[in-house]
Amino acid sequence: MPLVYQKHEESPVPVTRRRADALATARPRRGRPPAASRADVLDTAMRMYLHGERIDVRAIAAELGLGRSTIYRWFGSREGLVGEVLVRAVQPVIAESRASARGAGAKALLDAFDRINRSLAAAPALRAFLEHERDALRILTSSAGPVQPRMVELVTAMIEDEVAAGTFEPSVEPSTLGYAIVRLAEAFLYNDADGLRGDVERLRKVEAALLGVRA
Protein backbone atom coordinates (compact mmCIF):
# COMPACT_ATOMS: atom_id res chain seq x y z
CA MET A 1 0.00 0.00 0.00
CA PRO A 2 1.51 3.40 -0.91
CA LEU A 3 2.64 5.57 1.99
CA VAL A 4 2.28 9.29 2.68
CA TYR A 5 4.70 10.97 5.02
CA GLN A 6 4.37 13.75 7.55
CA LYS A 7 7.23 15.49 9.31
CA HIS A 8 7.38 14.97 13.04
CA GLU A 9 10.45 16.48 14.64
CA GLU A 10 13.32 14.96 12.60
CA SER A 11 11.86 11.57 11.62
CA PRO A 12 9.29 10.93 8.91
CA VAL A 13 6.17 9.20 10.17
CA PRO A 14 4.35 6.98 7.66
CA VAL A 15 0.64 7.50 7.29
CA THR A 16 -1.35 5.08 5.17
CA ARG A 17 -3.41 6.30 2.27
CA ARG A 18 -6.53 5.21 4.17
CA ARG A 19 -5.63 7.60 7.01
CA ALA A 20 -5.06 10.42 4.53
CA ASP A 21 -8.42 9.75 2.93
CA ALA A 22 -10.09 9.85 6.34
CA LEU A 23 -8.49 13.21 7.09
CA ALA A 24 -9.67 14.57 3.77
CA THR A 25 -13.18 13.31 4.39
CA ALA A 26 -13.28 15.07 7.76
CA ARG A 27 -12.77 18.46 6.11
CA PRO A 28 -15.96 20.47 5.37
CA ARG A 29 -17.22 19.91 1.86
CA ARG A 30 -18.35 22.66 -0.41
CA GLY A 31 -21.48 22.50 -2.48
CA ARG A 32 -25.17 22.07 -1.97
CA PRO A 33 -26.31 21.73 1.68
CA PRO A 34 -28.20 18.61 2.79
CA ALA A 35 -31.85 18.51 1.85
CA ALA A 36 -34.38 19.60 4.45
CA SER A 37 -36.22 16.87 6.33
CA ARG A 38 -39.81 16.22 7.32
CA ALA A 39 -38.95 17.51 10.80
CA ASP A 40 -37.66 20.76 9.27
CA VAL A 41 -40.99 21.25 7.51
CA LEU A 42 -42.88 20.64 10.74
CA ASP A 43 -40.64 23.04 12.67
CA THR A 44 -41.12 25.78 10.07
CA ALA A 45 -44.89 25.29 10.04
CA MET A 46 -44.94 25.36 13.83
CA ARG A 47 -43.07 28.66 13.83
CA MET A 48 -45.64 30.13 11.46
CA TYR A 49 -48.51 28.92 13.63
CA LEU A 50 -47.03 30.23 16.88
CA HIS A 51 -46.48 33.63 15.27
CA GLY A 52 -50.13 33.80 14.21
CA GLU A 53 -49.29 33.36 10.53
CA ARG A 54 -51.09 31.20 8.01
CA ILE A 55 -49.26 27.94 7.37
CA ASP A 56 -48.19 28.44 3.76
CA VAL A 57 -46.85 25.32 2.02
CA ARG A 58 -45.48 27.37 -0.89
CA ALA A 59 -43.50 29.61 1.50
CA ILE A 60 -42.22 26.62 3.48
CA ALA A 61 -41.07 24.87 0.31
CA ALA A 62 -39.26 28.01 -0.88
CA GLU A 63 -37.60 28.60 2.48
CA LEU A 64 -36.35 25.02 2.81
CA GLY A 65 -35.51 24.43 -0.85
CA LEU A 66 -38.07 21.65 -1.24
CA GLY A 67 -40.73 20.89 -3.79
CA ARG A 68 -44.32 21.19 -2.63
CA SER A 69 -44.90 17.66 -3.90
CA THR A 70 -42.38 16.41 -1.33
CA ILE A 71 -44.24 18.13 1.50
CA TYR A 72 -47.56 16.72 0.28
CA ARG A 73 -46.00 13.27 0.07
CA TRP A 74 -44.82 13.52 3.69
CA PHE A 75 -48.05 14.93 5.16
CA GLY A 76 -50.70 13.89 2.63
CA SER A 77 -52.04 17.43 2.20
CA ARG A 78 -51.78 20.92 3.64
CA GLU A 79 -54.53 19.97 6.06
CA GLY A 80 -52.46 17.00 7.21
CA LEU A 81 -49.52 19.30 7.95
CA VAL A 82 -51.74 21.84 9.73
CA GLY A 83 -53.33 19.09 11.81
CA GLU A 84 -49.97 17.71 12.88
CA VAL A 85 -48.89 21.20 13.93
CA LEU A 86 -52.04 21.68 16.02
CA VAL A 87 -51.61 18.34 17.79
CA ARG A 88 -47.93 19.01 18.40
CA ALA A 89 -48.78 22.42 19.87
CA VAL A 90 -51.30 21.01 22.35
CA GLN A 91 -49.24 18.03 23.55
CA PRO A 92 -47.05 20.03 25.99
CA VAL A 93 -50.19 21.77 27.29
CA ILE A 94 -51.73 18.39 28.06
CA ALA A 95 -48.54 17.06 29.65
CA GLU A 96 -48.10 20.13 31.87
CA SER A 97 -51.77 20.17 32.86
CA ARG A 98 -51.65 16.48 33.76
CA ALA A 99 -48.50 16.92 35.82
CA SER A 100 -49.92 19.95 37.68
CA ALA A 101 -53.38 18.49 38.35
CA ARG A 102 -54.37 18.21 41.99
CA GLY A 103 -56.00 15.23 43.62
CA ALA A 104 -56.52 11.77 42.18
CA GLY A 105 -59.04 9.95 40.05
CA ALA A 106 -61.97 11.99 38.76
CA LYS A 107 -60.85 15.10 40.65
CA ALA A 108 -57.41 14.99 39.02
CA LEU A 109 -58.96 14.48 35.61
CA LEU A 110 -61.34 17.39 36.09
CA ASP A 111 -58.51 19.66 37.21
CA ALA A 112 -56.35 18.59 34.26
CA PHE A 113 -59.16 19.09 31.74
CA ASP A 114 -59.92 22.51 33.21
CA ARG A 115 -56.27 23.57 32.93
CA ILE A 116 -56.14 22.39 29.32
CA ASN A 117 -59.38 24.21 28.44
CA ARG A 118 -58.22 27.47 30.00
CA SER A 119 -54.86 27.26 28.24
CA LEU A 120 -56.53 26.73 24.88
CA ALA A 121 -59.02 29.54 25.47
CA ALA A 122 -56.16 31.93 26.23
CA ALA A 123 -53.80 30.81 23.42
CA PRO A 124 -53.12 33.67 20.97
CA ALA A 125 -51.95 31.27 18.25
CA LEU A 126 -55.16 29.26 18.41
CA ARG A 127 -57.25 32.43 18.33
CA ALA A 128 -55.37 33.68 15.26
CA PHE A 129 -55.78 30.30 13.58
CA LEU A 130 -59.54 30.33 14.14
CA GLU A 131 -59.81 33.90 12.85
CA HIS A 132 -57.65 33.53 9.74
CA GLU A 133 -58.09 29.91 8.63
CA ARG A 134 -61.20 29.45 6.52
CA ASP A 135 -61.64 25.77 7.43
CA ALA A 136 -60.35 26.05 11.00
CA LEU A 137 -63.37 24.53 12.75
CA ARG A 138 -63.59 21.65 10.31
CA ILE A 139 -59.88 20.90 10.71
CA LEU A 140 -60.19 21.00 14.50
CA THR A 141 -63.47 19.19 15.04
CA SER A 142 -64.07 16.76 12.17
CA SER A 143 -64.07 13.13 13.28
CA ALA A 144 -62.44 12.32 9.94
CA GLY A 145 -59.88 15.13 10.27
CA PRO A 146 -56.31 15.14 11.57
CA VAL A 147 -56.97 16.65 15.02
CA GLN A 148 -60.04 15.29 16.80
CA PRO A 149 -59.08 11.58 16.68
CA ARG A 150 -55.66 12.40 18.17
CA MET A 151 -57.24 14.54 20.88
CA VAL A 152 -59.58 11.69 21.78
CA GLU A 153 -56.57 9.35 22.01
CA LEU A 154 -54.70 11.74 24.31
CA VAL A 155 -57.68 12.34 26.61
CA THR A 156 -58.56 8.64 26.68
CA ALA A 157 -54.98 7.84 27.70
CA MET A 158 -55.33 10.19 30.68
CA ILE A 159 -58.52 8.44 31.75
CA GLU A 160 -56.96 5.00 31.31
CA ASP A 161 -54.03 6.00 33.51
CA GLU A 162 -56.41 6.73 36.39
CA VAL A 163 -58.31 3.50 35.77
CA ALA A 164 -55.06 1.52 35.79
CA ALA A 165 -54.04 3.22 39.04
CA GLY A 166 -57.31 2.12 40.64
CA THR A 167 -58.34 5.70 41.40
CA PHE A 168 -61.19 6.03 38.91
CA GLU A 169 -63.97 3.77 37.68
CA PRO A 170 -65.80 5.39 34.76
CA SER A 171 -69.45 4.61 34.13
CA VAL A 172 -68.68 4.03 30.42
CA GLU A 173 -65.69 2.81 28.44
CA PRO A 174 -62.67 5.17 28.68
CA SER A 175 -62.70 5.66 24.91
CA THR A 176 -66.36 6.70 24.99
CA LEU A 177 -65.75 9.07 27.89
CA GLY A 178 -62.68 10.50 26.15
CA TYR A 179 -64.71 11.17 23.02
CA ALA A 180 -67.45 12.87 25.07
CA ILE A 181 -64.92 15.08 26.89
CA VAL A 182 -63.36 16.21 23.60
CA ARG A 183 -66.73 16.92 21.97
CA LEU A 184 -67.83 18.91 25.02
CA ALA A 185 -64.67 20.99 24.87
CA GLU A 186 -65.26 21.71 21.18
CA ALA A 187 -68.82 22.87 21.90
CA PHE A 188 -67.82 25.24 24.70
CA LEU A 189 -64.47 26.48 23.39
CA TYR A 190 -65.25 27.18 19.74
CA ASN A 191 -67.90 29.36 18.19
CA ASP A 192 -69.11 29.22 14.60
CA ALA A 193 -69.35 33.02 14.41
CA ASP A 194 -66.43 34.34 16.46
CA GLY A 195 -63.98 31.46 16.31
CA LEU A 196 -63.08 31.14 19.99
CA ARG A 197 -65.91 31.09 22.50
CA GLY A 198 -63.92 30.10 25.59
CA ASP A 199 -66.83 29.34 27.94
CA VAL A 200 -64.57 27.50 30.38
CA GLU A 201 -66.67 27.98 33.52
CA ARG A 202 -69.73 26.19 32.20
CA LEU A 203 -67.50 23.63 30.51
CA ARG A 204 -65.95 22.74 33.86
CA LYS A 205 -69.39 22.21 35.41
CA VAL A 206 -70.53 19.89 32.63
CA GLU A 207 -67.27 17.93 32.71
CA ALA A 208 -67.62 17.57 36.47
CA ALA A 209 -71.10 16.12 36.03
CA LEU A 210 -69.81 13.72 33.40
CA LEU A 211 -66.97 12.58 35.68
CA GLY A 212 -69.27 12.32 38.71
CA VAL A 213 -67.55 14.90 40.93
CA ARG A 214 -68.54 18.25 42.44
CA ALA A 215 -67.47 21.23 40.35
Interval 135-148: pLDDT, tens: 999 999 999 999 99
Q: Which of 87-91, 159-163, 211-215 has the lowest mean pLDDT?
A: 211-215
- Predicted confidence band of residue 35 (pLDDT cuts 50, 70, 90): confident
Q: Which residues of 184-212 are buried (b: 16+ CB within 10 A; e: fewer)?
A: bbbebbbeeeebbbbebeebbebbbebbe
pTM: 0.80
Measured from the Cβ of residue 46, the count of other Cβ atoms closer than 10 Å reads: 17
Q: What average pLDDT does range 165-170 have in this prediction?
A: 96
Given a cut of 60, is residue 26 above it in pLDDT?
A: no
β partners of residue 9: none
Q: Which residues of 80-115 are buried (b: 16+ CB within 10 A; e: fewer)?
A: bbbbbbbbebbeebbeebbeebeeebbbbbbbbbbb
Alpha helices in 7-132 (DSSP H): 17-26, 38-50, 57-64, 68-75, 78-100, 105-121, 124-132
H or E element, residue 142: none
Output the pLDDT for position 116. Answer: 97
Mean pLDDT of the chain: 87
Domain boundaries, the chain: 82-211
Q: Which of 15-29, 97-111, 147-161 has the lowest mean pLDDT?
A: 15-29
Interval 152-167: pLDDT, tens: 999 999 999 999 999 9
Output the pLDDT for position 24. Answer: 45
Given a cut of 50, is residue 43 above it in pLDDT?
A: yes
Percent of the chain with pLDDT over 90: 77
Q: What average pLDDT does range 193-212 have in this prediction?
A: 88
Given a cut of 80, is residue 196 above it in pLDDT?
A: no
Question: What is the CATH architecture assignment of 82-211?
Answer: Orthogonal Bundle (1.10)
Phi, psi of 12 (to 5 degrees): -70, 140
